[in-house]
Amino acid sequence: MAEEISAKTVMALREKTNAGMMDCKKALKEAEGDLEKAETILRKKGITKADNKSDRQTKEGIISSYIHMAGRIGVMIEVNCETDFVARNEIFQTFVKDIALHIAASNPKYLTRDDVPADLISKEREIAADQVKGKPEAIVEKIVQGKIDKIFAEQCLMGQAFIKNQDITIADFVKSKIAELGENLVVRRFVRYAVGEDVES
pTM, to two decimals:
0.67
Superfamily of domain 2-47: Ubiquitin-associated (UBA) domain (1.10.8.10)
Residues 99 and 191: beta-carbon distance below 8 Å: no
Burial class of residue 179 (count of CB atoms within 10 Å of its CB; 0-12, 13-18, 19+): middle
Residue 151 reports pLDDT greater than 80? yes
Numbered ranges of CATH 3.30.479.20 in the chain: 55-112+156-194
Amino acid at 78: E
Residues of the chain with CATH 1.10.8.10: 2-47
Who has greater pLDDT, 85 or 4? 85
Domain 55-112+156-194 has CATH 3.30.360.10: no
CA distances from 22 to 13, 42, 72, 95, 169 (A): 11, 11, 35, 20, 10
The whole-number average pLDDT for the span 166-194 is 93
The 8-class DSSP code of residue 45 comes to T
- pLDDT, tens digit, 9 for 90 and up, residues 91-138: 999 999 999 999 999 999 999 988 988 898 888 888 888 887 878 878
pLDDT tens profile 12-49: 887 777 677 778 888 898 888 888 888 888 877 666 55
